[in-house]
A and B are shown apart, each in its own frame.
Chain A
Amino acid sequence: MKSRRLHFEIFRYNPEDPNSKPHMQNFEIDELPYMSLFMALNHIRETQDPSLQFDFACRSAICGSCGMMVNGRPALGCRTQTKDLPDMIRLHPLPVFKLVGDLSVDTGTWFREMVENTEGWIHAKEAFDPDAQEERMDDELAQKIYDSDRCIECGCCVASCGVANVIGDFAGPAGLNRMARFAMDPRDTREDSDWFELISNEQGVFGCIGMMACHDICPKELPLLEVYAYLRRKALSTGFAGN
């Protein structure tokens, strides 16, 4: 069977090159069986334009490096198969994040700030006791925490979010999910008033205007609808309790 000819239109800009101007560049390659964007982009770089910048690491949809806009929709490049795409494939870097070059964006800085702002760590009761048995946890609850903990911080949800695209200090879907992950964890000693401060404002869950693109595009299929419902309930219950 004759393979398809794929037409790529890829955003190019190298901020380190004073002569570089943002533009779209065209490439053509023959499609191969089981071809992913990981394979396609490496093929383009190694045979056509070795200056092309993009990020991949695990190539198995677990490290979250390769978020990019694929025909206008955020997606992980490694997991995107060309057979599921039309002949014309347009690739842009994720919006919201600072551009490193071409398809590569600085998610690291954004997510570090998010973790700092949400204090995304266990606020433990006391120091770790190496001689003590582990604190018990119901397995159902462990699974619920794990469901939220599975976020790989690829940034696809942030890129898809109408609010995060225009309001810089909005926690974004991934940030809200992080809050929920710790709020439901009994090992975290933050009190209702702390959570109220964090969640119940425009930077938190009330900044969300409910378009839910995040829920649709999340590559890890996190239950973001449930996460926001949980946060809103938490905000209301702690708000009323405080009055």
Chain B
Amino acid sequence: MSTQIVSTDVLVIGGGLAGERCAIEAAAAGHDVLILSLVPPRRSHSCAAQGGMQAALGNCVKADGDSPSLHYLDTVKGSDWGADQEVARIFVEEAPVAVREMAHYGVPWTRVRGGRNRYFIKGERVEIEEKEENDGLIMHRDFGGTAKWRACYAGAGTGHAALFAVDSEVVRLGVTVRDRAEAVQLIHDGGRCWGAVSRCLRTGKHSAILVKATVIATGGHGRIYGQYTTNATINEGTGAAIALNTGVVPLGNMEAVQFHPTALSPSGILLTEGCRGDGGFLLDKNLDRFMVEAEPEKQELASRDVVSRHMAQRMRDGLGVDTEYGPHLWLDVRHLGEKHVTTKLREVYEICRDFAGLNPAKELAPVRPTQHYSMGGVRVNKDGEAYNMAGLFAVGEAACWDMHGFNRLGGNSLAETIVTGRLVGRHVAKVATEIDLEANTSIAIDAVRAAESRAAGWLERSGSGPSVYEIRDAMGEAMIANVGIFRTDEELVAGVTQLNELLRECDKAVLRSKAPGMNPELSFALRLKGMLRLALVTAKGALARTESRGAHFRSDYPLRDDARWLNRTLVRWPEGASEPEFNYEPVGLIDLPPGHRGYGSADRIEMDEPLETYNERVEAQQVQHGRLETAEPTGSEIRWGEWGGQQ
């Protein structure tokens, strides 16, 4: 049978906020863009983001004096100094523009109401007079780990509103969207990417897409934690997996996994940080507001890694509410009142009603920390281009651009999607303008044949092997038990052993259905090995990193170690190798010296070299690990010391 090959300018893999915003930029520059999406774009998981998008507009009284520099400080501290500080700077400077652009696209942002407003702050009801001259500007709410109210929001449906606005723009520009399609393999020549093999999730047929620039925007991979995640069923890390399968592109900081403090128990559905931002409490089984003592300064609004650890410890101490599904704690928003809960937290109200049968304006909601966000992903330079692979870009949660380091602040990911979409989109457009499509169609045909033969292999295999769903469930259990909030050498070794075993089992697994067409069991089976590989590199990365930083907490190495571990993990899986290969690069140029975050533990091991020496190594070492040249030199966008006086 002949191979179907489509050629166009730009391929965007993933139709969520980051991918679509990137597609808009390339399309507006005159390029033909094709978006592949597992689901119709408006069903992408961006739609589930609730609470807000961080941008230092400084519009309400509690945001007075806010600035990109303050946002920068919060972001770097939040990352526990794991972030690339130049990237954090680029992000905070662009975020206000990107958020205002979303207003231009039609997002119905909640607005400032001039005059007297009632808020709940640190357990107290307060009245604040909002300035009349700011009436009608974009409003902010408080979020964790921030010095100011900064999260811009549309009720508790910010992601939904943003995704619909951006997708409207995609339709307006006439961008082609192929939904129910999955990129199963990148087409590349070892140094440059020329597109991907697409598998149609209606028919099961494979085809090649040849392009000048390819963008991975497939979101996170929370489903490697099985059901123990807030993520949608589609967040299986397909983009990160195909990048890892190239053998040359590294993934960055895969061990940095965020657990969100307030997922509804037991379903794991997210309840926004906005609940606590708007004044909600966390309570234990004795209805004790334990975060006040644990974090006197930030209370419930410390960063997510810190709050999740306090919660997990509380439950370990026997102060959780025991149920047949394990212990949970309580989220209390009753004091915010029915009107607030049914308007500004409306999605929370509906989720509690529909999935737990309770009214959060009147009852406590059962919550527990649950896997939520992948800080790790396809390692890219500041232009969004992958290490070791020209013409391949990654944006959003799928990428490790690295403004989040080892802990992302709430509301920073939604803002990242549109900021990187705009910025990386410009570089994508430039590549599409400057280069010619020189790929030999034979590499496309070979890639399609390889993908087809993998599918055929699954259908041909018979016998009494395990089912793919058993392996998936075992993977989830191995991850939550051994690569969770608290990690130890013993557990991580056990996790690695189990995952290696599951990888071997995967090769013996047998499909129960040989149905022609998309075959849902086959569709999942084709992703399973990639998910197991992502799980394994996460566990191995966590085992290797013998310190605690952000969300990566080693009970046996409880201190952040800036002498040995002020670096980023890079993992590649060379072709044919039985094991992944780990390397470490400097986090980037350091402008804000490592210090105390202002919450969590203040103890740490200090750097044992001067900052200047560290910074001198950055360029050469990153290039050595495959970082491609950027449009502007490294460090060009750092505003050295501009955060001074802001602290």
Contact = CB atoms under 8 A, between A and B. Distances in A.
Contact of A130 (B101, B164, B270): B101
B234 to A, nearest CB: 5
A112 B15 CA distance: 13
Given A15-B517, A121-B171, A149-B164, A100 B202 contact: yes
B90 interface: no
Contacts of A59: 232-233, 267, 269
A63 to B, nearest CB: 4
A143 B45 contact: no
Interface string A47-79: 001111101111111111100000000000001
A60 B160 CA distance: 13
Given A58-B45, A108-B39, A133 B137 contact: yes
Given A62-B47, A79-B354, A138 B111 contact: yes
Interface stretch (B289-297, B343-351, B548-556): B343-351
A159 to B, nearest CB: 16
B497 interface: no
Interface of B: 39-40, 42-45, 47-48, 57, 97, 100-101, 103-106, 108-113, 135-139, 154-155, 157, 160-161, 164-165, 167-169, 171-172, 177, 179-180, 202-204, 232-234, 266-267, 269-270, 324, 343, 347, 350-351, 354-355, 467, 469, 511-513, 515-521
Given A57-B43, A60-B48, A51 B136 contact: no
Given A57-B43, A121-B106, A17 B48 contact: no
A122 B103 CA distance: 10
29 contacts: A46-B469, A50-B467, A50-B513, A51-B513, A57-B232, A58-B43, A58-B45, A59-B267, A59-B269, A62-B47, A62-B48, A62-B160, A112-B40, A112-B171, A121-B171, A121-B172, A122-B105, A122-B165, A134-B137, A136-B111, A136-B137, A139-B112, A139-B139, A142-B110, A146-B108, A150-B155, A153-B42, A185-B108, A187-B104
Contact of A146 (B137, B155, B167): B155
Contact of B136 (A52, A100, A136, A153): A136
B380 to A, nearest CB: 24
A57 B135 contact: no
Given A46-B469, A100-B518, A187-B104, 16 more contacts: A16-B202, A36-B355, A46-B467, A49-B513, A50-B512, A50-B513, A50-B521, A60-B269, A61-B355, A122-B104, A134-B57, A137-B136, A142-B108, A149-B154, A152-B47, A185-B106
A107 B164 CA distance: 15
Contact of B111 (A79, A115, A139): A139
A119 B106 CA distance: 13
B157 A150 contact: yes
Interface string A106-130: 1111011001100111101000101
B45 A122 contact: no
B520 A53 contact: yes
Contacts of B204: 16
Given A51-B521, A58-B45, A149 B511 contact: no
Nearest to B203: A16
Nearest to B97: A130
A101 interface: yes
A34 interface: yes
Contacts of B180: 100, 106, 108
Contacts of B521: 45, 50-51
Nearest to B270: A60
A200 interface: no
Interface of A: 14-17, 33-34, 36, 45-46, 49-53, 55-65, 79, 100-101, 106-109, 111-112, 115-116, 119-122, 124, 128, 130, 132-139, 142-143, 145-146, 149-150, 152-153, 182, 185, 187-188, 220
Nearest to A144: B108
A121 B100 CA distance: 16
Given A112-B40, A146-B154, A120 B108 contact: no
B274 to A, nearest CB: 14
B104 A57 contact: no
B160 A152 contact: yes
Contacts of B177: 108, 112
Nearest to B169: A121
A64 B48 CA distance: 11
Contacts of B168: 115, 120-122
A36 B234 CA distance: 18
A119 B174 CA distance: 11
Contacts of A128: 100-101, 104
A143 B232 CA distance: 27
Contact of B45 (A51, A57, A149): A57
Contacts of A109: 179
A79 B233 contact: no
B518 A143 contact: no
B110 to A, nearest CB: 6
Given A51-B513, A62-B347, A108 B40 contact: yes
Contact of B161 (A134, A149, A182): A149
Contacts of A143: 108, 110, 155, 343
Contacts of B343: 143
A142 B111 contact: yes
Interface centre among B42, B43, B164 (most CB of A within 10 A): B43
